[in-house]
Amino acid sequence: MGSGSGCIAALVLLFSSSLLVLIPYPAASLPLCTDSRSPLPQPTPLTFCPYNGTSCCNSTQDLRIRKQFEAMNVSDPSCRSVMKWILCAICDPFSGELFTIGTAPRTVPLLCNSTVSANSSQSSGSASDYCSIVWDTCLNASMFNSPFAPSLQGQAGLPMNSSSTKLTELWQSKNDFCNAFGGASLDESVCFDGEPVKLNATVAPAPPSGLCIERLGNGSYLDMVAHPDGSNRAFFSDQKGYIWLGTIPAQGSGATLEIDESNPFLDLTDEVHFDTEFGMMGIAFHPNFAKNGRLFASFNCDKSKWPGCSGRCSCNSDVNCDPSQLPSDNGAQPCQYQSVIAEYSANGTSSGPSAAKTASPAEVRRIFTMGLPFTAHHGGQILFGPGDGYLYFMMGDGGGTGGDPYNFSQNKKSMLGKIMRLDVDNSPSAAEVSKFSLWGNYSIPKDNPYTEDSELQPEIWTYGMRNPWRCSFDAARPNYFMCGDVGQDEYEEVDVITKGGNYGWRVYEGPLLYTPSQSPGGNTSAKSIDPIFPVTGYTHSEVNKNLGSASITGGYFYRGTTDPCMYGRYLYGDLYAENIWAAIENPENSGNFTSSHISFSCAKDSPIPCETVQGSQLPSLGYIFSFGQDNQKDIYLLTYKGVYRVVRPSRCGYTCAKENVTAVSTPSPTSAPSYASSLVYGRGSLFLAVASWLLLASLRVLL
């Protein structure tokens, strides 16, 4: 059924009679530009700075840089050329890294230093000791408002010294100068050597031979969150409204997941409306939960059955939508059902929240409530950002007949088809209450993109999503915020989420132009937006056509130590087809991803034997609802058939040269057929056999 879009790397489409090829062109890691936005293709070429195509500057910024350069009145022609490049480096697609070391902004880009030239990740072909070149070229050149003044180092944006100076008047020696402005291309950063930044083009490593999994539990869960105290425990929740606290066994122990489903950690079933499209969609625990006991749940409620289910309708005058004109959906009236985020507490134990076995079902605070126009596409996942501590809330386009007919995703005043970013540590100020029409009890982060785009509602972090289903932050690179966005007719996508990004839906379905069958809410022109396209994804033709549908389930970058050949790959899957992909970014931090189907098998010594596909030895998962990650960074699959964990490749007979196999348990067969490949040849009958109403209740929310 639908898709959003999103990524750093733009995609060029080449069509033949039998093949669709997606060719990425170079892009950069996040944050890309100095304002944390992705670089975008510029419709009007820059006339001063030599960064055409994808750039962090537009024509207005280009003109401002020209005026700044002319006002400097650099006396030496050779130095003038150098200074032009240095000022224009702010337009480089890598400017976010060129001008930032740690958290300190810089007045000029980090200049490549000869002491680290051998380790440079760049291959521009110019001299390696660029910092010395700048010093030698501009040594005796005078200039006004020099960006090299010592008082300005690390203080970008402050007024410069208006007097005319030379480098020799500001710095005692080349060594002092390069200690201040020089540096290395190390630790995933880059330095400036006088030309646009380029990464070395290397061959992507071959995909792992397969993914080995073990079955730890029989329960069917929708979400998993590692305990914030760093222990071997995790919280599991289901769609009905239960949250359980489980203990995870050590790798290789042969033990199973310990969950007592008769004693939930929190029972919200009285508030949660559980039906085919509704339920508890996500849980999140405050980063400081081990001390403050604060936890949050995202769920749906029915205002006709629960007095506490009452909020403003997402179809309202602000978005030019009249609820009385919306058709009923599956017998439900517009905004009969609501999306809710509520806060709860596990502070009721004297030994502290970390030791708590239960939480109180009484709401501490209602964070957010919004009425839904239709009965589908309302996402609902919530996550705390690891770097900022803010709560991210994933919301779909609202559903309807498909194709986002009211164009909510592109409407900057609508909360539908968005990822929101909320400050739940502070209540709204009086100024916020008077200025914004907030949807609940939260504050607006000061650096949300509305400060740069006044048309955006202040809660919005990104827009143009269709139905983001399962997002995650990379444990090794927290600025990589990955989301799977469910497709419409043709394409399922994985997006790298960035501040203020427009991910295209419903102008685009992934990288493909989309034409809605009906549009009572109006259309958005493709020429009027700068969409961020997916970094990877797959077409519906790549999965079993007999299933009749496809629906992506976003996952995680693998950062565990159990399978070293999987390290650094982004794992994701398809809900229906049970396909699993592993995407590798090459070069690292380039935004260029290559995905491969990954075969998977069940370890013969799995604590709980895996069910198999009829007529084969391949594991049958039923449906892949979500992925999970524990405090050891091991990856889990939450499926209809139970909870599975990624384990050592050798336990399934897969070969990984990096694996230490000194204590390998009984090996599986030395080779395992590709499960993903087997699905292409007819798994439809199996899915029809296991599909029941209750199962569909857990699945249709993803479409």
pLDDT of residue 397: 97
In the structure, how many helices (H) and strands (E) does the chain have? 11, 38
pLDDT of residue 544: 66
Q: Cα Rg for the chain, rounded, in angstroms?
A: 27
Rounded CA separation 701/703 (Å) = 6
pLDDT per residue as tens digits for the range 157-207? 334 456 788 999 999 999 999 988 888 765 456 788 888 887 665 667 888
Rounded to the nearest 5°, which phi and psi values hold at 326?
Answer: -80, 140
pLDDT per residue as tens digits for the range 332-347? 899 999 999 999 999 8
By three-state DSSP, how is residue 504 classified?
coil
pLDDT per residue as tens digits for the range 640-666? 999 999 999 999 999 999 897 654 443
Rounded CA separation 209/672 (Å) = 9
By three-state DSSP, how is residue 139 classified?
coil
Which token pair is 461?
């972090």
Rounded CA separation 496/471 (Å) = 10
Please check whether residue 569 is in contact with residue 581, taking contact to mean a CB–CB distance below 8 angstroms.
no
Q: Residue 702 has what DSSP assignment?
A: G
Q: How many CB atoms lie within 10 A of CB 609?
A: 13
pLDDT per residue as tens digits for the range 549-559? 799 999 999 99
pLDDT of residue 692: 40
* 135-159 burial: b if 16+ Cβ within 10 Å, else e: bebbeebbbebbbbbeebeeebeee
By three-state DSSP, how is residue 59 classified?
helix
Least confident of 41-45, 132-136, 479-483: 41-45
pLDDT of residue 101: 58
Please check whether residue 667 is in contact with residue 651, taking contact to mean a CB–CB distance below 8 angstroms.
yes
pLDDT per residue as tens digits for the range 34-83? 877 778 777 788 999 988 878 899 889 999 999 999 999 999 999 999 99
Identify the H or E element spanning 243: strand 242-247
Q: What is the mean pLDDT of residues 614-619?
A: 84
**Bridge partner list, 295:** 285, 344
Residue 396 has pLDDT above 90, yes or no: yes
Comparing 589 with 305, which gets the higher pLDDT? 305
Rounded CA separation 195/637 (Å) = 45
Residue with tokens 């499960």: 675
The model's pTM is 0.79
Rounded CA separation 234/256 (Å) = 14
pLDDT above 90 covers a percentage of the chain that reads 66
By three-state DSSP, how is residue 605 classified?
coil
User: Which amino acid type is present at position 413?
Assistant: K
3-class DSSP string for 379-419: CCCEEECCCCCCEEEEECCCCCCCCCCCCCCCCCCCCCCEE
pLDDT per residue as tens digits for the range 220-269? 999 999 999 999 999 999 999 999 999 999 999 999 999 999 999 999 99
Query: Which residue in 609, 630, 613 sits closest to 622, CA to CA?
Result: 613
Comparing 263 with 100, which gets the higher pLDDT? 263
Query: Which residue in 4, 9, 5, 6 sits closest to 589, CA to CA?
Result: 9
By three-state DSSP, how is residue 451 classified?
helix
Strands of 559-634 (E only): list them: 570-574, 580-585, 593-597, 600-602, 624-629
Which token pair is 83?
């200074």
Residue 253: exposure state from Cβ atoms within 10 A (0-12, 13-18, ≥19): exposed
Q: Residue 608 has what DSSP assignment?
A: B
Domains by residue range for the chain, with CATH: 22-183 (no CATH), 211-702 (2.120.10.30)
pLDDT per residue as tens digits for the range 524-533? 999 999 999 9
pLDDT of residue 614: 83
